[in-house]
Structure 1
Amino acid sequence: MRELSGKVAVVTGAASGIGRALAVRLAEEGMSLMLADVDPGGLAETAALAGHGRVLTQITDVSDDAAVQHLAARTFGELGAVHVLCNNAGVFQGGHIWNRATEDFAWLLGVNLWGVLHGIQAFVPRMIEQDTEGHIVNTVSVAGLFAAPYTAGYAVSKYAAFAASQTLAQDLALTGSKLKVTALCPGAVRTQINTSERVRPADLLIGRTRDDYAAQGLIDAIMERGIDPADVAGQVVEAIREERFLLLTHPEYAKGLRDQLEALLEGALPPLPSYE
């Protein structure tokens, strides 16, 4: 999909971080936007920053199927089409997997996995029916490729999101669709994902544990040395134009994937790449 100008994009998790950067960059490319998030203040700020053309916003909890269906209905109703869908909303909570409560997994899977699945189910059938070029960008994570200590439910949700992305791409290719897919797997990026607790639903809040705090310290340090979200947005636009499936924001992870594959083929626990 080479031409973005005059087309329509949807971005979830648009109130900050990669979602905000995507919104700004896609607006600069001349696209009309539907932006969604659970943070009304941040969403309004993003809309103002991306105000190069037509920008709509909607408060949307992507873990809620009905909310995402409503987002899709409004987008197609008011903007007429969707050409780029960015299932970007994501949250983080860490700790050892044996210490994580049901509420942790419910929250992480609800946003990180079901948010992607709801986006696919609500938007992709209509995008197929359009019979035009289009692209779906699912924000996964390198944690969806490399399972690491302290990532617990986050890695579980992101591995599943990667599987959903690959399955979607294979299904679309098999049926001859004009739609393409990118699995965006960022490394360290300066976002607010390390403060995800601020948007955690009250009914899923639980007391924090020592290993949770240890994981928090690690991700705080990683975020501080991360790359600019605008760099990621630029890479995404390039991936859309090149129809690239796997997008690693940090090239050193390619070696990590090779090392992981070799270890697995030997039946060994894979080494961890440097999380930069």
Structure 2
Amino acid sequence: MRELSGKVAVVTGAASGIGRALALRFAAEGMTLMLADVDPGGLAETALLAGDTKVLTQITDVSDEESVLHLADSAFGELGAVHLLCNNAGVFQGGHLWTRTREDLVWVLGVNLWGVLHGVNAFVPRMIEQDTEGHIVNTVSVAGLFAAPWAGGYAVSKYAALAASQALAHDLIVSGSKLRVTALCPGAVRTRINHSERVRPLDLALAPDALPAGSDDLAAQERIDAAVGEGMDPAEVAGMVVDAVREQRFLLLTHPEYEKSLRLQTETLLSGGLPGLRA
């Protein structure tokens, strides 16, 4: 889909970070926007920053199927079509895999995996029915390619999101659809993902005394704080996404060094070894 001007984009997780950067870049490209998030203040700020572009906003919990279906109904009902869907909402929960509680995993998988699946199920059938060019961008993560310590639950959600993206891309091709897919795998980016707890639902929250003895949450938090602080500007990522959509590129890596790491990991796995930590 080379021409973006005059088309409609839907972006979840649009209140900050990569989602906000995507929204502003799409606005600059002349697109109409439907923006969604659970943060009403941040969502309103993004809409304001988009300037004169037509922008609709809707509070949406992507982990909830009905909420996403309502978003799709609003987008198609009020804007008439959707050409670019960005399943971008995501949260981070650190810690060793064996210390993660059911509540941790339900929350992370609900947003990072089910958010993608709900977006696909709510939007893609109607996008196919439009019979126009279109694109789906799923924000995965480099954690969907390289599993690392202190982020087991997050990696599980992101590996699954990558698998969903790849399966979707193949399904669209074999069905003869004009839609294409990009799996965005960013590394460190200056977002607010290191403060994901701010949007954690109360029904999945844990009291401090419910954390496992010797909890590793602090170590995980320090690691992601450092990574985010040194990360890439989200606007740069948004520019890469626009290029990937125009080029119909499936896998989008934000950092060139990941290509070498991915090749090395594949070679190590084929030899039966455990891949080392990504540099």
* TM-score bracket, shorter-length normalisation: over 0.9
Which runs of 5 or more residues in structure 1 are unaligned?
Answer: none
Aligned with 2:226: secondary structure?
helix
State the distance in 1 between where 2:272 and 2:17 align: 38
Q: What's the counterpart of residue 200 of structure 1?
A: 200
Q: What's the counterpart of residue 184 of structure 1?
A: 184
Counterparts of residues 1-276 of structure 1 (less than 5 Å): 1-206=1-206, 207=208, 208=211, 210-274=215-279
Q: Where does structure 1 differ by over 3 angstroms across 4 or more consecutive aligned residues?
A: none
Cα RMSD (Å) of the superposition?
Answer: 0.7
Q: CA deviation at 1:117?
A: 0.2
State the distance in 1 between where 2:42 and 2:219 align: 28
Q: Is the 8 A contact 1:30 1:52 kept in 2?
A: no
State the distance in 1 between where 2:255 and 2:117 align: 26
State the distance in 2 between where 1:272 and 1:31 align: 40
Describe the superposition over 1:8-29 as per-residue Cα deviations: whole angstroms up to 9, x where unpaired.
0000000000000000000000
Describe the superposition over 1:143-164 as per-residue Cα deviations: whole angstroms up to 9, x where unpaired.
0000000001100000000000
What is the letter of the counterpart of residue 62 of structure 1? V
Aligned with 1:181: secondary structure?
strand
Which runs of 5 or more residues in structure 2 are unaligned?
Answer: none
Q: CA deviation at 1:189?
A: 0.2
State the distance in 1 between where 2:146 and 2:52 align: 38
State the distance in 2 between where 1:222 and 1:264 align: 26
Q: CA deviation at 1:53?
A: 1.4
State the distance in 2 between where 1:3 and 1:138 align: 20
Q: Is the 8 A contact 1:21 1:233 kept in 2?
A: yes
State the distance in 1 between where 2:232 and 2:126 align: 35
Aligned with 1:216: secondary structure?
helix
Aligned with 2:236: secondary structure?
helix
Q: Is the 8 A contact 1:259 1:271 kept in 2?
A: no
Aligned with 2:123: secondary structure?
helix
What is the letter of the counterpart of residue 16 of structure 1? S
Q: CA deviation at 1:125?
A: 0.1
Q: Is the 8 A contact 1:28 1:52 kept in 2?
A: no
Q: Is the 8 A contact 1:132 1:178 kept in 2?
A: yes
State the distance in 2 between where 1:48 and 1:72 align: 22
Q: CA deviation at 1:176?
A: 1.2
Q: Is the 8 A contact 1:85 1:135 kept in 2?
A: yes
State the distance in 2 between where 1:203 and 1:53 align: 37
What is the letter of the counterpart of residue 268 of structure 1? G
Aligned with 1:147: secondary structure?
coil
TM-score, length-scaled by structure 2: 0.97
Q: CA deviation at 1:52?
A: 3.0
